[in-house]
Structure 1
Amino acid sequence: MSGCTPGAGRKAGLVVAIGVDIIKTSRFEKLLRTKTTSFAERLSKRILHHTHELPKFNEMDAGRQVQFMAGSWAAKEALFKTLHQEEQDVFNFNEWYRYNNSSGKPFISNDKYDYNNEEFHLSISHDDSLVIATVLRQKLYSLDSKGL
Protein backbone atom coordinates (compact mmCIF):
# COMPACT_ATOMS: atom_id res chain seq x y z
CA MET A 1 0.00 0.00 0.00
CA SER A 2 2.65 2.48 -0.95
CA GLY A 3 1.51 6.06 -0.95
CA CYS A 4 -0.98 5.50 1.88
CA THR A 5 -0.71 7.24 5.21
CA PRO A 6 -0.12 4.50 7.80
CA GLY A 7 -3.39 3.62 9.48
CA ALA A 8 -5.47 6.06 7.41
CA GLY A 9 -8.56 4.40 5.97
CA ARG A 10 -6.95 1.00 5.49
CA LYS A 11 -9.15 -2.04 5.79
CA ALA A 12 -8.71 -5.79 5.97
CA GLY A 13 -11.25 -8.36 4.86
CA LEU A 14 -12.29 -11.59 6.51
CA VAL A 15 -13.72 -14.16 4.10
CA VAL A 16 -17.28 -15.05 5.08
CA ALA A 17 -18.16 -17.26 2.10
CA ILE A 18 -17.26 -18.16 -1.49
CA GLY A 19 -19.73 -19.04 -4.23
CA VAL A 20 -19.12 -20.25 -7.79
CA ASP A 21 -21.33 -20.97 -10.78
CA ILE A 22 -20.69 -22.11 -14.34
CA ILE A 23 -23.18 -22.03 -17.19
CA LYS A 24 -23.33 -22.62 -20.93
CA THR A 25 -24.40 -19.51 -22.83
CA SER A 26 -26.41 -21.74 -25.18
CA ARG A 27 -29.07 -22.07 -22.44
CA PHE A 28 -29.72 -18.34 -22.62
CA GLU A 29 -29.33 -18.20 -26.36
CA LYS A 30 -32.22 -20.67 -26.69
CA LEU A 31 -34.34 -18.76 -24.19
CA LEU A 32 -33.69 -15.33 -25.69
CA ARG A 33 -33.76 -16.21 -29.38
CA THR A 34 -36.22 -19.07 -29.79
CA LYS A 35 -38.94 -17.94 -27.40
CA THR A 36 -41.30 -15.03 -27.96
CA THR A 37 -40.19 -11.45 -27.44
CA SER A 38 -42.53 -11.12 -24.48
CA PHE A 39 -40.94 -14.21 -22.87
CA ALA A 40 -37.45 -12.72 -23.31
CA GLU A 41 -38.65 -9.44 -21.77
CA ARG A 42 -40.17 -11.22 -18.76
CA LEU A 43 -37.02 -13.30 -18.30
CA SER A 44 -34.73 -10.27 -18.45
CA LYS A 45 -36.90 -8.44 -15.89
CA ARG A 46 -36.74 -11.44 -13.53
CA ILE A 47 -32.94 -11.65 -13.70
CA LEU A 48 -31.60 -8.14 -14.34
CA HIS A 49 -31.69 -5.14 -12.01
CA HIS A 50 -34.22 -2.64 -13.39
CA THR A 51 -31.95 0.41 -13.05
CA HIS A 52 -28.37 -0.82 -13.20
CA GLU A 53 -28.55 -3.69 -15.71
CA LEU A 54 -31.76 -3.73 -17.74
CA PRO A 55 -31.14 -0.44 -19.60
CA LYS A 56 -27.66 -1.63 -20.66
CA PHE A 57 -29.09 -4.99 -21.73
CA ASN A 58 -31.80 -3.37 -23.86
CA GLU A 59 -29.19 -1.34 -25.78
CA MET A 60 -27.06 -4.40 -26.68
CA ASP A 61 -27.17 -6.43 -29.86
CA ALA A 62 -28.58 -9.97 -29.59
CA GLY A 63 -25.19 -11.69 -29.29
CA ARG A 64 -24.01 -9.41 -26.50
CA GLN A 65 -27.35 -9.81 -24.70
CA VAL A 66 -26.78 -13.56 -24.44
CA GLN A 67 -23.33 -13.05 -22.90
CA PHE A 68 -24.61 -10.36 -20.53
CA MET A 69 -27.61 -12.40 -19.37
CA ALA A 70 -25.52 -15.54 -18.85
CA GLY A 71 -22.92 -13.52 -16.94
CA SER A 72 -25.53 -11.92 -14.71
CA TRP A 73 -27.14 -15.27 -14.02
CA ALA A 74 -23.82 -16.94 -13.14
CA ALA A 75 -22.77 -13.99 -10.94
CA LYS A 76 -26.07 -14.00 -9.05
CA GLU A 77 -26.08 -17.79 -8.63
CA ALA A 78 -22.56 -17.56 -7.21
CA LEU A 79 -23.64 -14.71 -4.94
CA PHE A 80 -26.66 -16.61 -3.61
CA LYS A 81 -24.33 -19.45 -2.63
CA THR A 82 -22.60 -17.01 -0.24
CA LEU A 83 -25.87 -16.06 1.49
CA HIS A 84 -27.51 -17.85 4.39
CA GLN A 85 -30.93 -19.38 3.69
CA GLU A 86 -32.71 -16.56 5.53
CA GLU A 87 -30.92 -14.00 3.33
CA GLN A 88 -31.73 -15.95 0.16
CA ASP A 89 -35.42 -15.90 1.08
CA VAL A 90 -35.43 -12.09 1.40
CA PHE A 91 -33.81 -11.15 -1.93
CA ASN A 92 -34.58 -11.72 -5.62
CA PHE A 93 -32.05 -12.01 -8.44
CA ASN A 94 -33.17 -8.72 -9.97
CA GLU A 95 -32.34 -6.82 -6.77
CA TRP A 96 -28.61 -7.57 -7.24
CA TYR A 97 -26.44 -5.95 -9.89
CA ARG A 98 -22.91 -6.08 -11.20
CA TYR A 99 -20.75 -2.99 -11.35
CA ASN A 100 -17.12 -2.02 -11.65
CA ASN A 101 -15.36 0.40 -9.31
CA SER A 102 -13.26 3.29 -10.64
CA SER A 103 -10.32 0.91 -11.18
CA GLY A 104 -12.47 -1.52 -13.19
CA LYS A 105 -12.66 -4.20 -10.46
CA PRO A 106 -15.99 -6.02 -10.60
CA PHE A 107 -18.32 -6.24 -7.61
CA ILE A 108 -21.90 -7.31 -7.07
CA SER A 109 -24.25 -5.34 -4.86
CA ASN A 110 -27.81 -4.78 -3.71
CA ASP A 111 -29.08 -1.37 -2.62
CA LYS A 112 -31.34 -3.05 -0.04
CA TYR A 113 -28.58 -5.20 1.49
CA ASP A 114 -27.75 -3.28 4.66
CA TYR A 115 -25.25 -5.49 6.44
CA ASN A 116 -22.51 -3.11 7.54
CA ASN A 117 -18.97 -3.51 6.35
CA GLU A 118 -19.53 -6.34 3.88
CA GLU A 119 -18.71 -6.44 0.22
CA PHE A 120 -19.01 -8.99 -2.56
CA HIS A 121 -16.04 -9.31 -4.91
CA LEU A 122 -16.85 -10.76 -8.32
CA SER A 123 -14.66 -12.57 -10.80
CA ILE A 124 -16.31 -13.53 -14.06
CA SER A 125 -14.83 -15.17 -17.15
CA HIS A 126 -16.24 -16.00 -20.56
CA ASP A 127 -14.68 -18.70 -22.75
CA ASP A 128 -16.46 -19.70 -25.92
CA SER A 129 -19.83 -21.01 -24.71
CA LEU A 130 -18.99 -21.12 -20.99
CA VAL A 131 -19.32 -18.46 -18.33
CA ILE A 132 -17.92 -18.91 -14.83
CA ALA A 133 -18.45 -16.55 -11.92
CA THR A 134 -16.93 -16.57 -8.46
CA VAL A 135 -18.12 -14.36 -5.62
CA LEU A 136 -16.11 -13.72 -2.48
CA ARG A 137 -18.15 -12.36 0.41
CA GLN A 138 -16.05 -10.57 2.95
CA LYS A 139 -16.49 -8.63 6.14
CA LEU A 140 -14.35 -5.49 6.30
CA TYR A 141 -12.47 -4.35 9.38
CA SER A 142 -10.69 -1.06 9.85
CA LEU A 143 -6.92 -1.18 10.36
CA ASP A 144 -6.79 2.18 12.08
CA SER A 145 -5.45 2.48 15.63
CA LYS A 146 -8.77 1.26 17.07
CA GLY A 147 -9.20 -1.65 14.62
CA LEU A 148 -7.17 -4.80 14.04
Structure 2
Amino acid sequence: MILGIGCDLLKVSRIERIVRRQGLNGKTLDRFATRILHPVEREQFVALRRSDDIAGTVRLLSGSWCCKEAVFKSLDPGRQAKFRFNRWYKSNDEYGRPTICGDDVNNTDRFLVSVSHDGDMIMSTVLRQGIQQ
Protein backbone atom coordinates (compact mmCIF):
# COMPACT_ATOMS: atom_id res chain seq x y z
CA MET A 1 0.00 0.00 0.00
CA ILE A 2 1.29 3.48 -0.87
CA LEU A 3 1.53 5.65 2.23
CA GLY A 4 3.22 8.74 0.81
CA ILE A 5 5.21 10.26 -2.00
CA GLY A 6 7.75 13.04 -1.88
CA CYS A 7 10.01 14.75 -4.36
CA ASP A 8 12.70 17.40 -4.23
CA LEU A 9 14.62 19.37 -6.82
CA LEU A 10 17.89 21.01 -5.84
CA LYS A 11 20.25 23.32 -7.66
CA VAL A 12 23.63 21.75 -6.87
CA SER A 13 25.43 25.10 -7.17
CA ARG A 14 23.66 26.23 -3.97
CA ILE A 15 25.52 23.53 -2.03
CA GLU A 16 28.72 24.17 -3.99
CA ARG A 17 28.63 27.86 -2.96
CA ILE A 18 28.41 26.84 0.69
CA VAL A 19 31.33 24.41 0.34
CA ARG A 20 33.54 26.88 -1.55
CA ARG A 21 32.67 29.83 0.69
CA GLN A 22 33.35 27.89 3.91
CA GLY A 23 36.21 25.75 2.62
CA LEU A 24 36.39 22.03 3.23
CA ASN A 25 37.72 22.54 6.75
CA GLY A 26 35.43 25.40 7.74
CA LYS A 27 33.53 25.16 11.02
CA THR A 28 30.27 26.25 9.40
CA LEU A 29 30.53 23.50 6.77
CA ASP A 30 31.28 21.00 9.53
CA ARG A 31 28.16 22.09 11.47
CA PHE A 32 26.06 21.90 8.29
CA ALA A 33 27.37 18.39 7.55
CA THR A 34 26.77 17.27 11.14
CA ARG A 35 23.19 18.53 10.95
CA ILE A 36 22.29 16.74 7.71
CA LEU A 37 24.57 13.68 7.47
CA HIS A 38 23.96 10.35 9.19
CA PRO A 39 27.10 8.83 10.81
CA VAL A 40 27.40 6.45 7.83
CA GLU A 41 27.51 9.44 5.46
CA ARG A 42 29.69 11.40 7.87
CA GLU A 43 32.51 8.87 7.35
CA GLN A 44 32.33 9.52 3.60
CA PHE A 45 32.34 13.28 4.24
CA VAL A 46 35.46 13.06 6.39
CA ALA A 47 37.26 10.95 3.76
CA LEU A 48 36.31 13.37 0.97
CA ARG A 49 37.43 16.32 3.06
CA ARG A 50 40.78 14.70 3.83
CA SER A 51 41.40 14.15 0.12
CA ASP A 52 40.40 17.77 -0.71
CA ASP A 53 37.65 16.47 -3.00
CA ILE A 54 35.35 19.47 -3.37
CA ALA A 55 33.28 17.91 -6.18
CA GLY A 56 32.77 14.69 -4.20
CA THR A 57 31.81 16.65 -1.09
CA VAL A 58 29.28 18.68 -3.06
CA ARG A 59 27.84 15.48 -4.59
CA LEU A 60 27.50 13.83 -1.18
CA LEU A 61 25.87 16.83 0.50
CA SER A 62 23.51 17.65 -2.36
CA GLY A 63 22.46 14.03 -2.88
CA SER A 64 21.89 13.52 0.82
CA TRP A 65 19.90 16.74 1.19
CA CYS A 66 17.74 16.07 -1.87
CA CYS A 67 16.87 12.49 -0.88
CA LYS A 68 16.07 13.42 2.70
CA GLU A 69 13.82 16.31 1.63
CA ALA A 70 11.88 13.83 -0.52
CA VAL A 71 11.71 11.35 2.39
CA PHE A 72 10.42 14.11 4.68
CA LYS A 73 7.66 14.97 2.22
CA SER A 74 6.58 11.31 2.04
CA LEU A 75 6.03 11.06 5.82
CA ASP A 76 2.91 11.67 7.88
CA PRO A 77 2.74 15.01 9.76
CA GLY A 78 3.49 13.34 13.11
CA ARG A 79 6.69 11.79 11.79
CA GLN A 80 7.61 15.00 9.97
CA ALA A 81 7.51 16.85 13.31
CA LYS A 82 10.17 14.48 14.69
CA PHE A 83 12.24 14.26 11.48
CA ARG A 84 16.00 14.83 11.77
CA PHE A 85 18.13 14.74 8.64
CA ASN A 86 21.04 13.07 10.43
CA ARG A 87 18.93 10.04 11.42
CA TRP A 88 18.42 8.92 7.78
CA TYR A 89 20.73 8.07 4.88
CA LYS A 90 20.65 6.98 1.28
CA SER A 91 22.39 3.75 0.45
CA ASN A 92 22.44 1.41 -2.51
CA ASP A 93 21.26 -2.18 -2.58
CA GLU A 94 23.21 -5.07 -4.13
CA TYR A 95 21.98 -4.02 -7.60
CA GLY A 96 23.01 -0.38 -7.19
CA ARG A 97 19.48 0.90 -6.66
CA PRO A 98 19.17 3.72 -4.14
CA THR A 99 17.37 2.90 -0.91
CA ILE A 100 16.62 4.73 2.34
CA CYS A 101 18.06 3.49 5.63
CA GLY A 102 18.46 4.94 9.07
CA ASP A 103 17.67 5.01 12.73
CA ASP A 104 14.09 6.23 12.31
CA VAL A 105 12.94 3.87 9.55
CA ASN A 106 9.93 1.85 10.71
CA ASN A 107 10.04 -1.86 9.95
CA THR A 108 6.61 -1.46 8.36
CA ASP A 109 7.90 1.09 5.82
CA ARG A 110 9.68 0.50 2.55
CA PHE A 111 11.09 3.43 0.60
CA LEU A 112 11.52 3.32 -3.16
CA VAL A 113 13.91 6.03 -4.36
CA SER A 114 14.75 7.51 -7.72
CA VAL A 115 17.56 10.05 -8.11
CA SER A 116 18.32 11.94 -11.32
CA HIS A 117 21.10 14.37 -12.16
CA ASP A 118 21.16 16.79 -15.08
CA GLY A 119 23.73 19.53 -15.23
CA ASP A 120 23.37 21.68 -12.13
CA MET A 121 20.17 19.99 -10.96
CA ILE A 122 19.50 16.92 -8.85
CA MET A 123 16.04 15.49 -8.33
CA SER A 124 14.84 12.81 -5.96
CA THR A 125 11.49 11.05 -5.73
CA VAL A 126 10.58 8.81 -2.80
CA LEU A 127 7.62 6.47 -2.63
CA ARG A 128 6.81 5.22 0.88
CA GLN A 129 5.07 1.87 0.98
CA GLY A 130 3.51 0.06 3.90
CA ILE A 131 4.66 -3.52 4.36
CA GLN A 132 2.29 -6.02 5.90
CA GLN A 133 3.85 -8.04 8.69
Q: Mark yes or no: TM-score above 0.5.
A: yes
TM superposition shift of 1:66: 0.6
1:63 maps onto 2:55 in alignment = yes
Structure number with bigger Rg: 1
- 1:120 maps onto 2:111 in alignment: yes
The alpha-carbon deviation at position 88 of structure 1 amounts to 1.2
Q: What letter corresponds to residue 90 of structure 2 in structure 1?
A: R
Aligned residues: 127
Sequence identity (%): 38
**Structure 2 unaligned residues grouped into runs of 5+:** none
State the SS of the aligned residue for 1:27. helix
Q: Write out the 4+ residue segments of structure 1 that deviate beyond 3 Å after TM superposition.
A: none
CA shift for structure 1 position 120: 1.0
1:54-96 superposed Cα distances (whole Å, 9 cap, x missing partner)? 1112222111111111111010000000111210111200100
Asked whether the equivalents of residues 72 and 83 of structure 2 are also in contact (C-alpha less than 8 Å), the reply is no
AA partner of residue 108 (structure 1): I
Q: Which runs of no fewer than 5 residues in structure 1 stay unpaired?
A: 1-13, 143-148
Higher share in helix: 2
RMSD: 1.4
Q: CA deviation at 1:112?
A: 3.0
